[in-house]
Amino acid sequence: MNKSKNIKDVVQPTKWYSELPRKQYENYTKVGVYQNWFEVYRLPHNVYAIYESGHFQEVISFLILGKEKAMLLDTGLGMGNIKLVVEDLTELPVIVVNSHCHFDHIGDNYRFDNIYIYNDEGAISRAEKGLENCEVEENLVGDSTYIPYPIGFNPANYHIKPANKITVIEDGHVFDLGDRELIVKHTPGHSPDSIMLLDEKNSILFTGDTFYPAVLYAHLESSDNVNSVFDIYLQTMKELSNTIDVKYLYCSHNYPIVKGSKLKEAAKAFIDIKNGGLEFVEDSKGLKKYTFDEFCIVTK
């Protein structure tokens, strides 16, 4: 029997920042804080987490080092200057990839010469047009940001600028960073263009927003049709749990590393929601939140 109780907002709890600093970060070497905004941590296997803890999304962009090149996976909120951070962390040539086209992953695309994105109509259109203030301003309301913005950032003018140039990639594309290969897995559901990157040698899956240890969004809709689709998300999770077996998931929100076995748990969670009968809470917009161990799922 479904039970629900009404709460105000299933996505952003009031005083979300009371959870900070998150304990998991004690496991990693803190490299520093850049522009009073980006916290940078050195993770195992030559990866840096560039963490924007001051904003509710707590987005994490990753700098992944190979022998010859580095990859920046996502460019963050676009409030600070992530390019300066990256230039301080590595002298290697850097290629830039978007895990998907949500605002908090593409904010600084415009600072780079070229961005690799998945071959999806909505993602291409968004990369070429950016997002206007009216499409992103709701992300700055209330207590969504709890530390001062980086110097020079004007929230009243917040928007996502277009990328200078894009290169589209398909499922199975391999990025060779020199002694480190990252294989693109198309994982639609959270958004049509979502990808993961598989680093088989190090047994790491970079999961983007398809899985992370927080509230997973299976409910998003936007005026430019970059929508979440629950049934597609479910299918993606089933396929992943049947085909991918890694030690670590490097995740794009809240804290960066969880055990690979969480993929199977997440797939089961989607299946259980589909089958019905789980408890959930519902908010004033009619969104339902289901809670599991270390993650939640929000659906319509």
Q: How far is the CB of 268 from Zn ion (least distance, A)?
A: 22
Task: Supply the minimum distance, in Å, between the C-beta of residue 177 and Zn ion.
Answer: 24
CA 121 to centroid of chain Cα atoms? 20
Stretch that binds Zn ion, among 72-80, 101-109, 221-229, 268-276 (CB under 5 A): 101-109
| E strand intervals along the chain | 6-7, 29-34, 38-43, 47-51, 60-65, 70-73, 94-97, 115-118, 166-169, 174-176, 181-186, 195-199, 204-208, 215-217, 248-251, 257-259, 281-283, 288-291, 296-299
Q: How many residues bind Zn ion (CB under 5 A)?
A: 2
According to the binding rule CB under 5 A, does residue 209 interact with Zn ion? yes
The single residue among 60, 80, 102, 213 that binds Zn ion, judged by CB under 5 A, is 102
Least distance to Zn ion from the beta carbon of 139, Å? 12
Binding region for Zn ion (CB under 5 A) out of 54-62, 74-82, 100-108, 284-292: 100-108
248-251: strand order across its sheet? 174-176, 181-186, 195-199, 204-208, 248-251, 257-259
Spell out the long-range contacts of 28-33 with Cβ–Cβ below 8 A and sequence spacing 24 or more. 28/256, 31/89
- Fill in the amino acid letter for 261: S
> Which listed range, 65-73, 76-84, 97-105, 154-162, lies at the site for Zn ion (CB under 5 A)?
97-105
Q: Single out the residue of 163, 298, 150, 273 nearest to residue 217, CA to CA.
A: 298
Cβ at position 57, least distance to Zn ion in Å: 9
Q: Shortest Cβ distance from residue 234 to Zn ion (Å)?
A: 17
Q: Write out the two tokens for 193.
A: 């263009």
Query: Is there binding between residue 55 and Zn ion (CB under 5 A)?
Result: no
219 binds Zn ion (CB under 5 A): no
The residue whose two tokens read 């924007």 is 52
Binding mask 253-282 vs Zn ion (x if CB under 5 A, - otherwise)?
------------------------------
- Which of these ranges, 17-25, 102-110, 130-138, 197-205, lies near Zn ion under the rule CB under 5 A? 102-110
List residues binding Zn ion (CB under 5 A): 102, 209
